[in-house]
Every structure is written in structure tokens, then in C-alpha cells.
Amino acid sequence: MDITPSKTQPAPVLEEVVGRSALTQMPSVQPDSLICFSHLRWDFVYQRPQHLMTRLARQFPVFYVEERVLRDLDQPNLAVVTHGVGVTVVVPMLPDRLNPAEQIAAQRQLLDRFLAERSLVAPILWYYTPMMRSFSDHLPAARIVYDCMDELSAFLGAPPELIEREADLLQAADIVFTGGISLYEAKKGRHPNIHPFPSSIDVAHFASARQTMPEPADQAPIPHPRLGHYAVLDERLDVELLAYVADAQPDWQLIMVGPIVKIDPATLPRRANIHYLGPKRYEMMPAYLSGWDLAIMPFARNAATRFISPTKTPEYLAAGKRVVSTDIRDVARSYGDTGLVSIASTPELFVRAIRRELEQPRDEAWLRDVNETLARTSWDQTAAEMLSLLQSDGP
């Protein structure tokens, strides 16, 4: 997951990849819009949903429905904000006195009214969370898409009914996408039309970090060597490993960028050479990356990381940074087996790999391999391939 807070920005026109009339070539489908149901706030972090929805919005109106917000209100209502990229964010605002059943009923009524007011009768329903089926499972749909970017049931605080909700969504979905190969392998027996789409990248954006850039004010005073990592800092972070690295080499400076979520900040290791810089906006990330000597991915090995395919892997590589990662399966076989990323399975090996990578001179052959690998993927390409699969999936 990318942790950089979202920033509305122009997206490359998808029609250049798939043609302006892409969906009109599907007479049996004829969607009039796309409604995306997501557990991720549009303005929290800029990651897979934002990358894809801004591109798909070049084809038809996109309505991004967030989880409900409880407030001291008299009546339920919708907060609606339209962004310049063609995405309209819709947030159900509910009175905090409503019980769970009443919340579902209220969201169903708000959504029905919203669609009726806009005469939307054949939307593509695109789900990132099965939980939002509870108030949308009655809607007519040109297609139902489940873009399973993570194994949400393994995350800290996951609702116990999520597994049952996912089973319902898998039964209803016309097509399923997964956020990585491991996740695809875990789900492929549960749906006849499932396709893996690992995390992609905006190469040009992150490749700008290969040039020297002005230092962000909060990073500028930090000495070198700098080992950087940006992420949502949650149960997927190996805090023991972070402390081990900091203690093993006090002159190394560990720069951690991103919001702290679902864990107590007091549980994070505090050392003079660990710097928590907080969340940063998407457009600022190349400036931070440019000033790092090495990128690290200190992921814990637990249920929450079993199926992850971190977006930051290709982003670090696009920035021209050597990367040391724990042995996350999709990282190891997609990037470790080809020698683009160093994989370490223990704290001792992690430190040893960092030392080795810091001593490496600039390797033009390695950089050519990185460029060739990244040339095969982009968010434009991912969106186009997903759209093509929807086109070919006619009844």
C-alpha cells in the first residue's frame, strides 16, 4: 500500500490506450457509470483505487462511495464532492444514534435516491470491500467487479462477518481482480473469472527521484546514510526488526514516512536514529526518495502480510534506489529472484544486506534491468487490461 495522501492530479487519458469507444463496443453491457465501494478514504492515501478510478473516469462517470461517517445529525444525508479528475466522492453521513441495522437501511435509501436523481440504471459496481454489499446488493448492475487488493479478513480489527460477506460478493461478481499473485492463488478456486493484477506504478512520477531534488525541510537536517521507507505504519511493520537495525548500526538513519494507523504509537521503537516524519502528499514522495541512500521494506511476517504485493517495491526501483526487503512472498519471487531487490529472512541477514547494498557502486546493468522490468507495467496499462477484460466478459 502507498501511504502518500492523495492529491487530485491530471491522469493520462485512458482512451490513448484502449480507444475512446472502448465501452461502446459492448452493446450487451452499456454501463452508464461506475460506482466504486471502498473502505479507503479518497483523501487519505493515494494508492490502487485512486490510480484506477482516475483513469476509468476518462470513460464514464465514477462515483466513489466511502464508508459511513457517524455524526450528531437529525437526518441521514450524503456529502458529495466532485474532483477535477471526474471522480465524485460520496460519503453517507448518518446520525450516531442509529443501530447497525438502521445504518444499513439508511445507506440503502440514500444510495437509491442518489442513483435515481442521476437516472443511473446500469452502473458497473466495483467493490474494494465486501462489507458494503450490505446496503448495495439490491442494485441493478451492468457488471459487478470485486477488486480484491488485500486479504482484509487478516487485517487488525477486521469485522468477523467479513468472510461471509466476501463469499456473497464472490458469488455475485462477474469478474474478480486480485492485488497480487499470492492473493490470486488463494482465491482462484473460488471464482471462474479471476485475474491477478499486482501493484503497478506511475514510472515517470517516481523516476524523477533519480535526479537531485530540493530537500524537504524535515528531512534536510538528517545525516547520511539514510535508509527510507514509506507506508501506512500498522500491524504489518516489523517493529522489532526496525529497532534491531537501528541498534546494530547507530550511524544509519532510518526515515519512516507515513501515518500511524491501528497500532499504539507508543509501541514504535524510539531511537535517536529513527525519524518518524508523518504522512506526506503523493507529489512530494520523489523529493523524499531522492535524498535516501537506500530503501528498506521492514515488513513483519504475519497474517496481514501473507498476500501483500507492495506498491512501493516498483516505486522505490523507479526512483533508482536499491531495496532491501524481508521475505514477503510476492516481493521475493517478482523482484528478489531476478536480483532487483535483496531479500533477507532474519534481522541479522537484513543488516548484512543493507551493508552490502550501501557498499555497491552505481550499477548501470542493474538499472537497465530495472527499467526493462518497469516498462512492462503501468497504471495506464493495468486500467486498460481490466477494461478489456470487462469488454470481453459479455453474456
Three-state DSSP state, 165:
helix
Q: What is the pLDDT of residues 208-246, one digit of tens each?
A: 999 999 999 999 999 999 999 999 999 999 999 999 999
Q: Which domain holds residue 73?
A: 15-200+378-392
pLDDT attached to residue 2? 42
Q: Is the pLDDT of residue 38 over 60?
A: yes
Q: Is the pLDDT of residue 5 over 50?
A: no
Which position has the higher pLDDT, 176 or 395?
A: 176
Residues contacting residue 320 through CB under 8 Å, at least 6 positions apart: 207, 209, 210, 367, 370
Using CA atoms, how far residue 310 sits from 223, 332, 343, in Å, is 27, 11, 14
CA 119 to chain centre: 31
Residues contacting residue 119 through CB under 8 Å, at least 6 positions apart: none
Rounded CA separation 312/315 (Å) = 5
Structural domain tally of the chain? Answer: 2
* Domain shared by 387 and 338, yes or no: no
| Mean pLDDT of the chain, nearest integer | 89
Stretch 121-137: mean pLDDT = 95
* Domain shared by 368 and 383, yes or no: no
CA dihedral 232→234→238→239, nearest 10 degrees, is: 110
Q: Where are the alpha helices (DSSP H) in the chain?
A: 15-18, 48-56, 100-117, 162-172, 181-187, 203-207, 239-248, 285-290, 312-318, 329-331, 347-359, 364-374, 379-392
Contacts of the segment 182-185: beta carbons below 8 A, 24+ positions apart: 182/306, 182/307, 182/309, 182/329, 182/330, 183/148, 183/150, 183/151, 183/307, 183/309
Task: Flag whether 7 is in a domain.
Answer: no
Stretch 377-389: mean pLDDT = 94
* Domain shared by 161 and 234, yes or no: no
* Domain shared by 144 and 208, yes or no: no
pTM of the model as a whole: 0.84
* Domain shared by 196 and 222, yes or no: no
Task: Flag whether 10 is in a domain.
Answer: no
- For residue 242 the three cell numbers come to 526496525
Q: Which residues of 42-80 are buried (b: 16+ CB within 10 A; e: fewer)?
A: bebbbbbbbbbbbbbbbbbbbbbbbebeeeeeeebeeee
* Domain shared by 43 and 189, yes or no: yes
Q: Which residue from 232, 313, 180 is spatially nearest to 46, judged by alpha carbons?
A: 232
Would you tell me how many other CB atoms lie within 10 Å of the CB of residue 224? 12
* Domain shared by 208 and 132, yes or no: no
Rounded CA separation 323/293 (Å) = 10
Q: Which residue from 3, 31, 1 is spatially nearest to 279, judged by alpha carbons?
A: 3
Percent of the chain with pLDDT over 70: 92
- How does residue 160 score in pLDDT terms, banded at 50, 70 and 90? confident
* Domain shared by 214 and 164, yes or no: no
Q: What is the pLDDT of residues 273-297, one digit of tens each?
A: 999 999 999 999 999 999 999 999 9
- For residue 60 the three cell numbers come to 464514464
Q: Is the pLDDT of residue 11 over 70?
A: no
Q: Kindly state the DSSP code that residue 153 receives in the 8-state scheme.
A: G
Instruction: Identify whether the C-beta of residue 167 lies closer than 8 Å to the C-beta of residue 148.
Output: no
Three-state DSSP state, 385:
helix
* Domain shared by 247 and 310, yes or no: yes
* Domain shared by 234 and 151, yes or no: no
DSSP characters over 303-366 = GGGTT---THHHHHHHTT--EEEE--HHHIIIIITTTSSEEESSHHHHHHHHHHHHHPPP-HHH
Residue 144 β-bridge partners: 125
Q: Kindly state the DSSP code that residue 40 receives in the 8-state scheme.
A: S
Three-state DSSP state, 256:
strand
* Domain shared by 187 and 265, yes or no: no
* Domain shared by 269 and 328, yes or no: yes
Question: Domain holding 225: CATH number?
Answer: 3.40.50.2000
